Amino acid sequence: MTCHILGSVISVSQLLLTSSSWTGDKACPTAPPSAPLTIVGALTALAGTAVLGASPALADRDVVAFAHGGIHATPALAGRVIGAVDPGHHYTGQCWTTGDLVKDHGISNPNWVRLKLAGGATGYVPALYLKGNDKGNVPNHC
């Protein structure tokens, strides 16, 4: 099914949205004159939401460990340990998520940070082993 917005340029990647008139064919009902603005406005809102929602999740963040802690395959204490963070060392944090509650160094925290590891692998470290806030200073939720 194809519907046409005449005199329109719609490019979500460039966020350039304009319209002048709407026509329909047999598969598309003819919309009232106010429809193009409504449709374009909705597309603009959706495109803006998609772009704004996606960009923070793509940003990696430098994180620094303040204590030795295990890197797990999943955000769970029972998850296989695949490495460790060491105090003062820098790592690449991708996002944070909620997992098992971890209690150590007088702190309790359910947040885990996904780290980018060598060879493209990822692993999860309890955020309490990282400097910063309760999410290891990683603003992006997984």
**Which residue ranges form the domains of the chain, and what is each CATH number?**
4-58 (no CATH), 61-129 (2.30.30)
Query: H or E element: which one contains 43?
Result: helix 35-58
Q: Which residues of the chain carry a pLDDT beneath 50?
A: 1-57
CA distance 61 to 114: 10
The pLDDT assigned to 58 comes to: 58
The pLDDT assigned to 38 comes to: 37
Of 36, 12, 16, 14, the closest CA to residue 24 belongs to 36
CA distance 15 to 115: 32
The pLDDT assigned to 59 comes to: 83
In sequence order, the 6+-apart residues with CB closer than 8 A to the CB of 75 are 97, 98, 99, 100, 112, 114, 124
Angle at 139 between CA 135 and CA 140, to 5 degrees: 105
Is the pTM higher than 0.85?
no
